[in-house]
Amino acid sequence: MSSHLRTPRPALTEPRAVRVALMTVAMAFVGLFLVVPFVFIFVEAFRNGAQAYVEAIKAPEAVAAIWLTLVVAVLCVPANAVFGIAAAWAITRFDFRGKRLLTTLIDLPFAVSPVVAGLIFVQLFGRQGWFGPWLFDHDIKIIFAVPGIVLATIFVSFPFVARELIAVMEASGREEEEAASLLGANGWQMFRRVTLPNVKWALLSGIILCSARAMGEFGAVSVVSGRIRGETTTMPIQVEILYNEYAYQASFALASLLALVAVATLVMQAIVEHRGEHRGQSVAATASAAPTGAESPL
Amino acid sequence: MTTRATRRSALPGFRITMAFTLLYIAVIVLVPLLTLPIKSFSQGAAFFWDTVRDPRVIASYRLTLVASFAAACVNGVFGFIVAWVLVRYDFPGRRIVDSIIDLPFALPTAVAGITLTSLYAPTGWFGQYLEPFGIQAVFSPLGITIALIFIGLPFVVRTLQPVIADLDVELEEVATSLGANRRQVIFRVILPYLYPAWLIGFGMAFARAIGEYGSVVFIAGNMPMKTEIASLLIITKLTQYDYAGAAAIAFVLLLLSFALLLVLNALQGWSARRLGY
């Protein structure tokens, strides 16, 4: 969500016919590939009327899935937020050997296929995994249970907060914190009074992206979930189950809730970015510096 | 890599934040990832080679790479046009379109998967117009490519947008005043400047597509040798309790992603130097 929009200069642009043609192609592409699918979700969800929609969402298994999805997000997001703050502080406020390597390691989960992300936890905690026999002896279930879902979700949503914070804290420099320290602030005062106000929009942005990914993750969760109905089915898994049972309307009803979460994410991101820019913080600093690429691949 | 030794900083908290960061990365990322090479070779190197050279596995790699490449190419062309239009032209609704671009980042992949499958099914909104031409989108490599186009589009657009916006209009003015026509300005001035970012956006869309699962699994149909992508084959092996086989396929997939990541990093360094950062 970058706002690199600006008014074009007529003298330096393409002929009108070319402009219209390019705009038509761009709008048609966005329309066919993004807008129509999005609208379609809601058309399908309400195909049998509003009452069927409400019934699909109030079904016990759907309610359990919604509940589990929220629980997973509530466990994953704070963990990754605390990690993001600690990592950003260590990386941007101190010099040490291997800093580049550490930053690359943080981005690593984005390069790993979600299915592989689930698989590695099965290899650790599954029945045939490294810790499998020990866990079995002690009657602890991680795979095909909620802890496994939480671990896999933490893995895939791991870099968001750290990335946003590292970009902003690198750009803002250490001087303000050093001044606070010289003036006698202790670590906690410095963090609360100086660092946090400076990075709060970036932090919020990272938390929003992390939450969206945590609630919507499918590939990694589908490997570790085991699909025990009402127990280990998150919303995306429940959507899959219903769809494969040809309960299309119910499936799309639940999917429409996830689509609404996606829209809320985009809207909140736009607001946070706008506020951040007003306060002189570039939330999307990653995108505006060198062309290091698209921000936050969810 | 910083070659300087740890310099004393006036700020507190290095030890505790660093210790926590390393511990967290080790527990969540490094140790779990380490299981892949170990498990892959747990039944010997011969087993590993036999697994990854199995015709069905090779077919799935080939399909994954070809479909990802095709999708990245489509996104390279249309993503460029969309980015250009969004930065350079003014039209009603531009801001809304700009924020819609991120939808594939925010929409859960499973939701995208069932939606695209229903749209392109022979009776669906789009599928009914393809059917008379004998084009079958669902359960075919075409459908896989369509899903990968959906998830890859924002990478190209979002990588290009800031670079197009940073493009110095004075450069174009100079070229124009020196007698270049618009076509020459585009091909000699604008495109060479955007080329690295374009390549990076393409590479990111490609890399993302290789590991994609959720949006593809519904539309692919998952027929062995025909429409079975690599990440799906991993799940199939898992359900057959062939853990070492699943790990072997995953390990190759992981190496592929890392290789791409390295290339992208090198590209970014090259691009940054080129643009004088």
- The count of structural domains within chain A is 1
Mean pLDDT for the stretch of residues B171-179: 84
| Residue in A2, A82, A258 nearest the CB of B111 | A258
pLDDT at position B276? 63
Task: Give me the residues of chain A with pLDDT under 70, please.
Answer: 1-12, 278-298
Interface contact flag, B258 A218, Cβ < 8 Å: no
Residue A39 lies in a domain: no
What is the band of B7 on the pLDDT scale with cuts at 50, 70, 90? Answer: low
| Residue in B9, B32, B234 nearest the CB of A93 | B9
Maximum Cα–Cα distance across chain B: 72
Q: What does each C-alpha distance from B265 to A234, B261, B268, B269 come to in angstroms?
A: 35, 6, 5, 6
| Residue in A40, A99, A293 nearest the CB of B268 | A293
Interface contact flag, A38 B110, Cβ < 8 Å: no
- pTM of the entire structure? 0.89
What is the band of B270 on the pLDDT scale with cuts at 50, 70, 90? Answer: confident
Pick the residue from chain A with its C-alpha nearest to B214.
A219
Residue A282 lies in a domain: yes
- CATH code of the domain in which A153 resides: 1.10.3720.10
Structure-block tokens of residue B71: 């999708």
Interface contact flag, B102 A26, Cβ < 8 Å: no
The sign of the torsion formed by the CA atoms of B167, B93, B104, A21 equals: negative
Q: Which domain holds residue A56?
A: 49-288
| Helix, coil or strand: residue A259 | helix
Element (H, E) at A60: helix A60-93
Residue A35 lies in a domain: no
pLDDT at position A115? 95
Q: Which residue in A214, A236, A239, A221 sits closest to A115, CA to CA?
A: A221
Residue A42 lies in a domain: no
pLDDT at position A288? 34
pLDDT at position A297? 41
C-alpha–C-alpha distance, residues A164 and A154, integer Å: 17
Residues of chain B in contact with residue A174, where contact means CB-CB under 8 angstroms, are 9, 11
Residues of chain B in contact with residue A239, where contact means CB-CB under 8 angstroms, are 108, 110-111, 114
C-alpha–C-alpha distance, residues A245 and B228, integer Å: 21
Residue A190 lies in a domain: yes
Structure-block tokens of residue A266: 């985009």
| Residue in B21, B81, B115 nearest the CB of A41 | B115
- Complex prediction ipTM: 0.89
Pick the residue from chain B with its C-alpha nearest to A110.
B208
Domains of chain B: 65-274 (1.10.3720.10)
Residue A16 lies in a domain: no
Residue A33 lies in a domain: no
Residue A124 lies in a domain: yes
**Start-to-end Cα distance in chain B:** 18
Q: What is the distance in angstroms between the Cα of B83 and the nearest Cα belonging to chain A?
A: 9
pLDDT at position B271? 79
Whether the CB-CB separation of B120 and B219 falls below 8 Å is answered with yes
Q: What does each C-alpha distance from A104 to A86, A100, B1, B255 come to in angstroms?
A: 16, 6, 11, 15
Interface contact flag, A154 B28, Cβ < 8 Å: yes
pLDDT digits (tens, 9 = 90+) for A222-281: 999 989 988 899 999 999 999 999 999 999 999 999 999 999 999 999 899 888 776 655
| A188/B142: higher pLDDT | B142
List the single best residue of A9, A66, A119, A127 to mutate versus B (max B Cβ within 10 A): A119
**Helices within chain B (DSSP H only):** 14-25, 31-40, 45-52, 55-88, 94-100, 103-106, 109-120, 127-130, 141-166, 169-177, 182-184, 191-211, 214-220, 230-239, 243-274
C-alpha–C-alpha distance, residues A202 and A88, integer Å: 12
Max mean pLDDT among A123-132, B116-125, B267-276 falls in: B116-125
pLDDT digits (tens, 9 = 90+) for B68-110: 999 999 999 999 999 999 999 988 888 889 989 999 999 999 9
Interface contact flag, A1 B102, Cβ < 8 Å: yes
Interface contact flag, A187 B18, Cβ < 8 Å: no
For chain A, positions 225-284, list CB contacts with chain B under 8 A.
235-237, 239-240, 243, 248, 251-252, 255, 258-259, 261-263, 265-267, 269-270
pLDDT at position A182? 87
pLDDT at position A10? 46
C-alpha–C-alpha distance, residues A19 and A3, integer Å: 21
Q: Is A147 on the interface with B (CB under 8 A)?
A: no
